[in-house]
Structure 1
Amino acid sequence: MTYKILLATGLAIGLSACVETIPAEPEPNPNACGAAELQFLVGQNRSVLAMMTLPAPVRVIEPGTAVTMDYVESRLNIELDAKNRITRVYCS
């Protein structure tokens, strides 16, 4: 009986060594692209963007524009409405 317990324990320990641990993904930084400092743009016309030097990469998203769902922490996104007003400034 003791032999079976030792064998079962040894197998359990041996199998546990085969389990791969996956490191936790770091939390995304919602301000990695500097969007917090650019919130004053919300409500303004798109034309103000032409006078600004924005950090790259920048994506201006017009209504109906298809955008990829990939996450790039440093990418600045600027969403526009149908009247070319800035409605949202965020990182992704």
Structure 2
Amino acid sequence: MSDQTPASSHLLLPAIVLVLAAGACATMPPPGGPPPSAMCNAQGAIGAIGRAPTADVVERARIDSGSASVRVIRPGDAVTKDLRSDRLNLNVNARDAIEGVTCG
């Protein structure tokens, strides 16, 4: 056996260190959820209660709540159970009037 190592083995350790360092500098998205500027505030959309969910009313409620998105939920609609802090929910009754506003 020889005490000398091949030249390529001397390059392996610096290459590994370089790859690990580059990975540590990569930009990572913030963990979970939208940025704070897109947080829903249902209180801002209470003016929509009692109104028909027209496109204008829905968009105004979205803007007033500060939400990134909005969904209209009618009786019997299937909805996902995922909670999103940037989404406004407009709950509509059988008379097609908004009866509640929530975030999630």
TM-score (normalised: structure 2): 0.51
State the match for 1:68 in structure 2.
80
The answer on 1:42 being equivalent to 2:49 is yes
Structure number with greater CO (CA < 8 Å, separation at least 6) is: 1
1:85 aligns with one of 77, 92, 97? 97
How many Å apart are 1:50 and its aligned residue? 5.6
State the match for 2:13 in structure 1.
none
- How many residues get paired? 61
Give the share of equivalent positions with the same residue, in percent: 34
TM-score (normalised: structure 1): 0.57
Q: Which runs of 5+ in 2 are unaligned?
A: 1-38
Structure (1 or 2) with the greater helix fraction: 2
Q: Is the 8 A contact 2:47 2:61 kept in 1?
A: no
Runs (4+) off by over 4 Å: none
Cα separation, 2, equivalents of 1:77 and 1:63:
13
Q: Secondary structure at the match of 2:100?
A: strand
